[in-house]
Chain A
Amino acid sequence: MPNQPAEERARNFKEVALGYTKEMAMQEAARCLNCKKPKCVQGCPVQVPIADFIAEVAKGNIEKAYSVIKSTNSLPAICGRVCPQEIQCEGACILNAKDQPIAIGRLERYVADEYMYLDACDLISAKPECPFIDEEKKVACIGSGPSSLTVAGYLASRGCKVTIFEALHEVGGVLVYGIPEFRLPKEDVVAKEVGALKDLQVDFVTNYVGGKTFSIEDLKEQGYKAVFVGVGAGLPRFLNISGENLCGVFSANEYLTRVNLGRAYDFPNYDTPIIKGRKVTVYGGGNVAMDAARTAQRLGAETVHIVYRRTADAMPARLEELEHAVEEGIILEVLANPIEFKSDGSGNLASVTLQKMKMGEPDDSGRCRPLPIEGETYELETDLAVIAVGTRPNPVLLENEPDLKLNKWGYIEADEETNETSIPDVYAGGDIVTGAATVILAMGAGRKAAQEIARRFGIED
């Protein structure tokens, strides 16, 4: 797929991947073997009928392909961009054995974009035209990430009245405040998908915090018959090392929220400030670390290091993002673990002490453990550190809903079949149930809950 040239894109926030043309998409689709029992579908958490939609693309029927995808995936323009395809659909593709797998994600993205740019949204069959909305079938979603958006799309298109309550001033969850513009455009993609839900009469109430502005009980009193909790796992983890509260040390959430939600990349035209950093270090090896590092690069850093305690091939990030980051000049500082942040003497970050690591034997989980090489430490100059080592469940809602049963890690316990919680008619899904995971898994959970809600409403059996 064509991309913006690395030198150019490393200095702007425009989308990196430019997308297929129709010819390219049809050519790629023509490589599909049309397996009788397509493995790719099993690899997809929401079971997009991949072979069917690809067959339509091969014939040039893009609109038909779109409705096939939409039958199980309500946010294809997003999934096509952010799914870790190499371990999901494409990872299962039979062509992996001898050749490149079919670029399923790119095809999905192409099809979804075509449709969005044509603005043919209302003509697509998977979304009933102007469904009759039954004001009695009231459903509330708390949080507006992909899990809630999926619940809303599913139920609204079946005539339920859905309201989404979001703590922040913009809707989309991590899709708007976490994943950067250059990977997932906010106006052209996220806002359009949200707009389609508004067409289905889904209401969005922003600046409303579950557990603070309202409780689950309040919602029940207001006549909501079912509640879906999709509040994500937002509380950032830190490294718990000395110097971590120096000015210049950020959590990835703060750094990315300032840039994405606050549009700090356009400061001072937007009011949210950000420290740009000259020598930037980012800690972690997942998508979040890649996003933070590439954001720092785009804000004009001289050098950006990703510090990771294992080797590069063990990084959990999407392969494409890792490759893009390296192309853009990000330096991988692997087998290194931060042990101290040092100050310039006036409370600002000046450097980090790193411990050299080596890979040990595989443990019970089969994964090799990184071990420190005694006595081997070194200093790296850094004036901006971004910590991207994971999150914990956000306590704001949970603390105020003591009846909601949590598992031993502090996440909400939900029934595997229905996603119902310990409170009847209250469902949960996404990162607040699984811990930080993926967009598509959050959507899968939302879909499961929505199906159960629809069943209890008697809309579906």
Chain B
Amino acid sequence: MANKILKKEQLIPGQTSKLVIDAPHIAAKAKPGNFVILRVTERGERIPLTIADTDPESGTITIVYLVLGKSTALLEQLNEGDDILDLCGPLGKATELHSGGTVICVGGGTGIAAMHHIAKGNHEAGNHVVAIIGARNKDLLLFEKELKEFCPEVLISTDDGSYGHHGLVTELLKDRLEKDDSVIEVVAVGPVPMMAAVSKTTEPFGTPTTVSLNSIMVDGVGMCGACRVTVGGETKFACVDGPEFDGHKVDFGELRQRLAAFSSLEKKSFDHHCRCKCNDNS
């Protein structure tokens, strides 16, 4: 069968993992900014995950995920050699790459992996890429090494000061924007509050800012409207019009509310999953 997991690496044990998957048809087409929709079991939910990297030659794609609820927990149970039941992509619009300047790519948490592919695209488009990555502490930081391969500058911040700048990514960003007027674009991928804060930080500088929105999705091909977000007063579908949008125009408050729409049900699903698993073991 297709979609075999060739490599699995626990980046943060029990929390974040990286999978390299055999998917030549997706690898051949995937561009920075694209995502896949996958399903792990027959009764599983369809969930979107960003394509963090591709290797068209070996026909593989890389995904990095944070174990949050039931679907990602099921994904985490798979091992090298296992197949992913359904894997559909590449979906979403590819990143619009501008050239001829400095692009600052800001990543937070698991978003760093998604940002990595966009940063790589910007590097290949000839831009000077500055990566700013942040996490709560040193152990939760991802992809520092990978980013250093093509980013001349990788700036790091941690909430607790255990590594790099003690504070927030937005502080590093602001500092940089004040000093550097070659910046043509800022890209931010991470938790909603972080993307909102980045957009707010860049606004006074008038720097074009792109965010990658992680709204709830069902089909991922523009059929259901679950992923709708308000951008500049207009309703857009994140899966087909995005997932990248102008951060200065996104209604982040609405996005946050919509992301919480199913929280109590998701908890129920997860508890049900744990109960069933415990019963299986007994």
State the A residues within 8 Å of B (CB).
167-169, 206-209, 212-214, 234-236, 238, 240, 244-248, 250-251, 253-254, 257-258, 262-263, 267-275, 346-347, 394-396
Contact = CB atoms under 8 A, between A and B. Distances in A.
Contacts of B89: 209, 212-213
B262 A251 contact: no
Given A209-B91, A247-B258, A254-B218, A272 B45 contact: yes
Given A238-B235, A262-B46, A167 B86 contact: no
Interface in B194-253: 218-219, 221-226, 228-230, 235, 237, 240
B269 interface: yes
Nearest to A251: B225
Interface string B43-78: 111100000000000000000000000110000000
B88 A234 contact: no
Contacts of B225: 236, 238, 250-251, 253-254
B26 A271 contact: no
Contacts of A273: 45, 262, 265-266, 268-269
B153 interface: no
A302 B71 CA distance: 31
B91 A212 contact: yes
A207 B87 contact: yes
A120 to B, nearest CB: 29
Nearest to A232: B223
Interface of B: 25-26, 29, 39, 41, 43-46, 70-71, 85-91, 218-219, 221-226, 228-230, 235, 237, 240, 254, 257-258, 260-262, 265-266, 268-269, 272-273
The 5 A-B residue pairs with the shortest CB-CB distance in the complex, in nearest-first order: A347-B257, A273-B265, A254-B224, A207-B88, A234-B223
11 contacts: A167-B221, A212-B91, A235-B222, A236-B224, A248-B261, A267-B265, A271-B41, A272-B45, A275-B261, A275-B262, A396-B240
Given A168-B219, A169-B86, A254-B218, A271 B44 contact: yes
A245 B228 contact: yes
Given A244-B235, A263-B43, A268 B224 contact: no
Contacts of A275: 261-262, 265
Given A262-B46, A275-B262, A245 B88 contact: no
B228 A262 contact: no
A253 B226 CA distance: 9
A347 B218 CA distance: 20
Given A208-B25, A213-B90, A244-B235, 9 more contacts: A245-B228, A254-B226, A258-B218, A267-B268, A271-B45, A273-B45, A273-B268, A274-B265, A396-B221
Q: Which of B46, B91, B218 has the most CB of A within 10 A?
A: B218
Contacts of A245: 228-230, 235, 254, 258
Contact of B222 (A234, A268, A270): A234
Nearest to B93: A399
A147 B219 CA distance: 21
B88 A213 contact: yes
A258 B39 CA distance: 14
A323 to B, nearest CB: 29
A133 B226 CA distance: 42
Contacts of B261: 247-248, 275
A271 B230 CA distance: 27
A286 B237 CA distance: 24
A347 B254 contact: yes
Contacts, number: 125
A253 B231 CA distance: 22
A217 to B, nearest CB: 12
Contacts of B44: 271
Given A209-B91, A214-B25, A272-B45, A247 B260 contact: yes
Given A206-B86, A207-B86, A268 B269 contact: yes
Contacts of A235: 222-223, 237
A206 B84 CA distance: 13
A247 B228 CA distance: 11
A208 B224 CA distance: 18
A258 B258 CA distance: 16
B268 A268 contact: yes
Contact of A257 (B88, B219, B260, B273): B219
Q: Considering residues B39, B223, B226, B235, which has the most beta carbons from chain A within 10 angstroms of its beta carbon?
A: B223
Nearest to B237: A235
The winner among B87, B88, B91 for most chain A CB atoms within 10 A is B88
A234 B266 CA distance: 27
Nearest to B43: A270
B160 to A, nearest CB: 31
Contact of A167 (B85, B88, B228, B235): B88
Contact of A394 (B45, B70, B223): B223
Given A273-B266, A347-B254, A236 B223 contact: yes
Contacts of B222: 234-235, 394-396
Contacts of A238: 225, 228, 235
Contact of A268 (B46, B86, B87, B272): B272
A409 B269 CA distance: 42
A250 B226 CA distance: 7
A290 to B, nearest CB: 19
A300 B268 CA distance: 18
Nearest to B26: A213
A394 B220 CA distance: 12
B30 to A, nearest CB: 10
Q: Which of A167, A169, A206, A262 has the most CB of B within 10 A?
A: A169
A257 B220 CA distance: 12
Contacts of A257: 218-219, 223-224
A271 B91 contact: no
Contacts of A263: 43
A265 to B, nearest CB: 12
Given A245-B230, A262-B45, A253 B88 contact: no
Nearest to A168: B219
Contact of B71 (A168, A212, A271): A271
Contacts of A395: 222, 240
Contacts of A394: 221-223
B29 A253 contact: no
A169 B43 CA distance: 12
B224 A251 contact: yes
